[in-house]
Amino acid sequence: MKKTSTTLADGRELLYFTADDGVVDAPPDPRDLPTVSTASQMRRDPLLDEWVMMASHRQHRTFKPAEADCPLCPSGPGRHTEIPATDYTVAIFENRFPSLSTAAGHDQAPDLGHPLVDVRPGYGRCEVVCFTSDHHARFADLTPEHARLVVDAWADRTRELSALDGVEQVFCFESRGSEIGVTLQHPHGQIYGYPFVTPRTRRVLDVAREYRARTGGDLHSDVVAAERASGDRVLIETEHWVAFVPAAARWPVEVHVYPLRRLRTIPELTGAERDDFAALYLELLRRFDRLYDAPLPYISAWHQAPASDDEDLSHLHLELFSIRRAADKLKYLAGSESGMDAFITDVLPEDVARRLHAVRSR
């Protein structure tokens, strides 16, 4: 993999990734751009002991532009986008409308006059990952070699962002489909470098800690072993990975993907493990898109260890899920889910596993 670094007109970093050592055309950004807002702040919810990010400038971010105005497509004659190059394989740049910024200062931490609500600058980093220059492609359309390059880019950014002073956790993810809330249709994902451990990860670590104290075992490894032993919900098992529908799935379509070797972060994956994942992941995404007569909206979320996991409780894995519960129905978070975080699912995991088996590649 080759990485080429440059900057955009407003000083944001832009990175081009290629699979070979060839010369990357990285022309300068000719646009006249305003200064990027660094006004993000964080406030701690005293009832849940959780940080809430506040970034009011994001109200003005690009919202569902026409294809001709897509900011993630390559630049062309008379049209300059976030990518100055006329073509690219994988490109990653700092978000123009970030929820978190390494430039956030203490002037973004106002005194609320509330002794129970801590306020801090919204320090961190938000990046946009363009998977391909093809506006009409899906991740599932990539070749295994191209998908492997994306994995390498995730690993690079995890390593680099984890090294930033103050970043506690790196989150690589993709949201696809307008039903999910995606406002840019170009195939892309995002990476967040959080200055805190996210609520979901904190809860999982607490449960894993209690499980270890009670049983002496490793929670993630034991869950994977139980799913493999049952086999009822296992979709794909390769030399290095296993993908299964979890027995207590919350979402109408949900798949967890674990490396068979216990790891903490994406950079720890070997070349063979990255190649194996790329092939497995493409197969899963293609099955998702064969379930109905239209591509499935989904969120694909990497769960990596935070920097503060000194107890070694984490296990790298990916969670892939969709809100579509039938060809013409979506799963909305209703009162129980939104109000109490108590999920009710309309689809049995075993039925989902059978359907995903039925649409596998021949």
Query: What's the pLDDT tens digit per position in 163-222?
Result: 999 999 999 999 999 999 999 999 999 999 999 999 999 999 999 999 999 999 999 999
Check residue 111 and give its pLDDT.
Answer: 86
Percent of the chain with pLDDT over 90: 90
Model confidence pLDDT, tens digit, residues 81-140: 999 999 999 999 999 999 999 998 766 678 899 999 999 999 999 999 999 999 999 999
Token pair listed for 131: 């998977």
Token pair listed for 157: 């950014």
Question: CB neighbours of 114 closer than 8 A, spacing ≥ 6?
Answer: none
Model confidence pLDDT, tens digit, residues 291-317: 999 999 999 999 999 999 999 999 999
pTM for the predicted model, two decimal places: 0.97
Catalytic annotation, residues: 188
Answer whether residue 362 shows pLDDT above 70: no
Token pair listed for 102: 């390494």
Check residue 319 and give its pLDDT.
Answer: 98
Residue 361: helix, strand or coil by DSSP? coil
Q: Is the dihedral of CA 212, 255, 265, 128 positive or negative?
A: negative
Check residue 72 and give its pLDDT.
Answer: 98
Token pair listed for 117: 């609500």
Cα distances from 273 to residues 78, 171, 259, in angstroms, run: 43, 20, 8
Q: Give the HSE-up count for residue 171: Cα atoms under 13 Å, Cβ half-sphere.
A: 23
Mean pLDDT to the nearest integer, 73-77 = 96
Check residue 193 and give its pLDDT.
Answer: 98
Answer whether residue 38 shows pLDDT above 90: no
CATH code of domain 2-199? 3.30.428.10
Q: What stretches of the chain show up as alpha helix (H) in DSSP?
A: 144-162, 199-215, 219-230, 271-290, 340, 349-358
The DSSP string of 90-111 is EEEEE-SS-SS-TT--GGGS--
Answer yes or no: are the C-beta atoms of 242 and 233 closer than 8 Å: no
Model confidence pLDDT, tens digit, residues 222-250: 999 999 999 999 999 999 999 999 999 99
Check residue 107 and give its pLDDT.
Answer: 67
Token pair listed for 46: 């005293």
Tell which CATH classification among 3.30.428.10, 3.40.50.10470, 3.40.190.170, 3.30.70.2190 matches the domain 215-358: 3.30.428.10
Rg over alpha carbons for the chain, rounded to the nearest Å, is 21
Answer whether residue 75 shows pLDDT above 90: yes
Domain boundaries of the chain, sorted by first residue: 2-199, 215-358
Answer whether residue 20 shows pLDDT above 90: no
